[in-house]
Chains A and B, each alone.
Chain A
Amino acid sequence: MKALQKIQSRFVPMPMENIDTDQIIPARFLKATTRDGFGKNLFRDWRYENNDETKPKADFPLNQSQYSGEILVAGKNFGCGSSREHAAWSLLDYGFNAVVSSFFADIFKNNALNNGVLPVTVSDAFLQKIFEQGNDATISIDIAAQTITIDATGNQESFELNPYKKTCLLNGYDDIDFLLSKRDTIAQFEMNLK
C-alpha cells in the first residue's frame, strides 16, 4: 500500500444517499481474479445508457467535464450493502484517494482503509457546504492533522481516524505484515483457547 499524507484536489459531487456497493461496482463485474481494471466499471449502470460505453449519461457527475479530482463527495450511508472489496478497488483504480460523506457503512470503511482510500466522515452541515461550492473549488485533507478544509472559504472540520490506521496510512504499512509477525503469539493463544 502506498503512503498517503495529504490530498489537495477538486472533487466530484454525488449528493445521493445510501449509495450501495452494487451501484459502485455491479456484481457482473466481480468475475475478475485480480485487483486491477475495475475503474472503468465504477458506477457502471449510472454512468452509461443501457450498459453501452459509447453512451455516457450526460447528467452523471463522472461524465461531466466540470467535475474532476481525487476526492468523491457523497450523501450519507455511502458504501452500504455487500462486503465486496471490489468497491474500494474500483474507486482507487478510477483515481479516487478519498471519499467524503456524513456517514459510511462499516465494511466499506474497513475495505477502503485497507486499500489506502481514505473515508472522511464530516457533519451534515459541512457536507452541505461542500456541495454548495463551485466546480473548481478544492478541498484539502491533512491526514496527520486529521483535518478537512474547503480551501476557498477556509471552513475546516476535523475527522476521526483510528490512530493505528492513521499510522498505517501515513507510512503505507500493511496489516498483513503486522499479523504475520504475530504468528508465534497466535499459536500460543490457540493452545489456551482449546
Chain B
Amino acid sequence: MGKTLFDKIWDKHVVEKIQDGPSVLYIDTHFIHEVTSPQAFKGIENRGVELFRPKQTIATADHNVPTLNQHLPIKDELSRMQVEQLINNCQKHGVELYGLGHPYQGIVHVIGPELGITQPGTTIVCGDSHTSTHGAFGAIAFGIGTSEVEMVFASQCVLQTKPKTMRININGELQKGVVSKDIILYIIAQISASGATGYFVEYAGTTIKALSMEARMTICNMSIEMGARGGMIAPDETTFNYIRGRAFAPKTAVWEEHKQAWKKLYSDADAKFDAEIHINAADIQPMITYGTNPGLGIAINGNIPVVENITDEGEQRNIEKALQYMGLKSGASLIGIPVQHVFIGSCTNSRIEDLREVAALVKGKKKHDQIKVMIVPGSQQVAKQVHAEGLDRIFAEAGFQIRQAGCSACLGMNEDKIPAGEYCISTSNRNFEGRQGAGARTLLASPLTAAAAAITGVVTDVREMM
C-alpha cells in the first residue's frame, strides 16, 4: 500500500519507537521565542547539560514586543525582562537570535518561510501552536509545550504519538472576493473547532494547487483551530519557486539535488487516510465569525444560527454564551454592524500578499471616521517591502496606522489591545474571549473583508466594493 506524505516524512524521522509508547521523533528545525522558552532554558541549566544541537534552533522575539518605537527600551518591565532573558539565553547557549533591531526579526511563522529556513520534507517544531503554518511547504510542523522545547534542547527529539491522518480535498474555482482565509474559516465552520483533533491534515485538490505559497500558509496556519496537530500541503513548483534564492535556501550548486528529493514528497495514489473530506470551492463565500471560537463562523451574507433550532444542548449553551459575550443576536445578520477597530496582522495574514490585497482595495479611499485601523506587518522584511512598493503611502492616505513587526493585537500581550465591549475585525486566527484584550469582541475575517469594514465602518460584503 502507498504512503501518505505525512508517513513518508514521519517514518524517515523516527529514531525509535518505544514499545507501547510514543516515538522518538527527530527534529530538523526548532524555532523559539521569548514566551515559551525561558523555563526550558532554565530546565536544561538545572540539569547541567548543554544544548545538543544549538545550530538547529533559531530564535526571534515576537509575542511580547512593542510595535511602536522598537528602537527604545521596552517600557513594560516584565516584557523587557523576558526579551532580555531570551538575548542572554541565546548568547549563553549559542543559539542564533533575530531579535529586536535585527533585519530578520518578525513573527516566528513569518520569518521561517521568508528566510528559506522552512523546507519540504523536514520536521519543524516551536513552542507555539501555529507552527502548523510551516506545513504549507510539505513539512511536518507542529506546536509543542515548554517541556517539549526542553526535550529538543536536550536531544533534538520529541516524544510523539503518531497522529491519525486526514485529507481535505478542495476542488474548483473560488468565487470573486473569496481568498484562502475564507477557505479555512469555511472548513472550520463545517467541521467545528474540535473536528480534526487527533489528526494531521493534508490539504489537496485543484483549489489548493492554484494558491500561492502565502495563501497556503494561511490555510495551514489555522489547522490547529479545528484541533488538528498540524496541516500540510505537498510541495510543487510553486513551493520550489518560493524557496529558491532565499537567505537559507539550498545554494545553486545543490539546488537541483534538493529539488529532485522534494519532488518525491506527495501522497501516493493508493495511500489511505483515516478520514477524508471533500469541499467544493464554489460553495465558499467570504466568511466571518460571530462567536468565541473559530468554528463559529458564517458566510458574510448569512445569518447567525437561531439558538432554539440547535439540537445539541451543549452546543446551544455554548452559542448562547458566545452571543452574550459578543453582544450579538441569534438569527441576525452581521452586515451593517458598526466596528470600532480593524487589525490586519498576525501569522495568519501579515505577509506582503495580504497587504497588497488590502492596498489594492483601499487605494484612493479613506477609512471611516469612527474606526481605528492597525496594520502590523509580520516581519521587518515585509515592512521593508511595503515601503519599497509604496503601499505605506496608500495606507497613510487611507488613515491606517502602520506599526512594526510582532504578534501585536493578535494576543494582546503588549499594549496593542482592543478595549472591552468594542468590536474588532481581525485577520488573526483566534476569537476567544479576551484574546485581544479583556472584554474585546473579535470578528475573524480575511484581509479583504477587514479592509472593506475599515472603509465603511460596518461589517460589509467586500464583493460590493469590487
Contacts and interface: CB of A to CB of B under 8 A. Distances in A.
Given A45-B438, A107-B129, A31 B154 contact: no
B197 interface: yes
Interface stretch (A5-13, A22-30, A63-71, A144-152): A22-30
A33 interface: yes
Interface stretch (B140-148, B252-260, B271-279): B140-148
A80 B24 CA distance: 25
Interface in B132-184: 143-148, 150-151, 154-157, 159, 161, 163
Contacts of A175: 147, 151, 159
B20 interface: yes
Most buried by B among A27, A81, A163, A189: A27
B438 A51 contact: yes
A33 B145 contact: no
Contacts of B63: 27, 30
A173 B260 CA distance: 43
B363 to A, nearest CB: 34
A106 B22 contact: no
Contacts of B82: 31-33
B318 A17 contact: yes
Nearest to A18: B293
Given A26-B434, A28-B413, A176-B43, A106 B198 contact: yes
A22 B151 contact: no
Interface stretch (B34-42, B345-353, B382-390, B448-456): B34-42
A42 to B, nearest CB: 14
A156 interface: no
B193 A16 contact: no
- Report the contact-size class of chain B (Cβ under 8 Å from the partner): 35 or more
A2 B24 CA distance: 23
A26 B78 contact: no
B197 A186 contact: no
B397 interface: no
B147 A23 contact: no
Contact of A26 (B79, B314, B438): B438
A185 B432 CA distance: 43
A28 B412 contact: yes
Interface in B214-243: 227, 229
B335 interface: no
A110 interface: yes
A162 B18 CA distance: 11
Nearest to A165: B21
A132 to B, nearest CB: 14
B49 A180 contact: yes
Contact of A182 (B22, B157, B433): B157
Interface string B20-61: 111010100000000110110011000101001000000000
B268 interface: no
B305 to A, nearest CB: 16
Interface string A57-97: 00000000000000000011100111111101000000000
A125 interface: no
Most buried by B among A26, A30, A82, A114: A82
A132 B317 CA distance: 17
Most buried by B among A51, A106, A180, A185: A106
Given A83-B143, A83-B145, A175-B147, A162 B433 contact: no
B312 to A, nearest CB: 10
B15 A185 contact: yes
A54 interface: no
Given A18-B194, A34-B39, A85 B155 contact: no
Contact of B127 (A23, A83, A106): A83
Contacts of A28: 412-413
A41 interface: no
A138 interface: no
Nearest to A113: B147
A80 B63 CA distance: 19
Nearest to A193: B26
Contacts of A190: 26, 156
B197 A105 contact: yes
Contacts of B315: 17
A176 B144 contact: no
Contact of B194 (A30, A105, A178, A186): A105
A179 B24 contact: yes
Interface in B59-108: 63-64, 76, 78-79, 81-82, 85
Contacts of A27: 63, 411-413, 435
A45 to B, nearest CB: 5
Contacts of A18: 193-194, 293, 318
Contacts of B357: none
B263 interface: no
A31 B293 contact: no
A142 interface: no
Contacts of B78: 31-32
B21 A162 contact: yes
Closest 7 pairs (CB-CB, A-B) = A164-B21, A85-B145, A33-B38, A111-B145, A31-B78, A179-B155, A114-B147
18 contacts: A17-B317, A17-B318, A23-B432, A26-B434, A32-B82, A45-B433, A50-B438, A77-B193, A77-B194, A83-B145, A85-B146, A103-B197, A106-B197, A107-B129, A110-B144, A164-B20, A189-B26, A190-B26
Given A33-B81, A77-B197, A162-B161, 14 more contacts: A26-B434, A33-B38, A51-B438, A80-B194, A82-B128, A83-B128, A85-B36, A110-B144, A114-B145, A164-B20, A164-B159, A176-B150, A179-B24, A186-B155
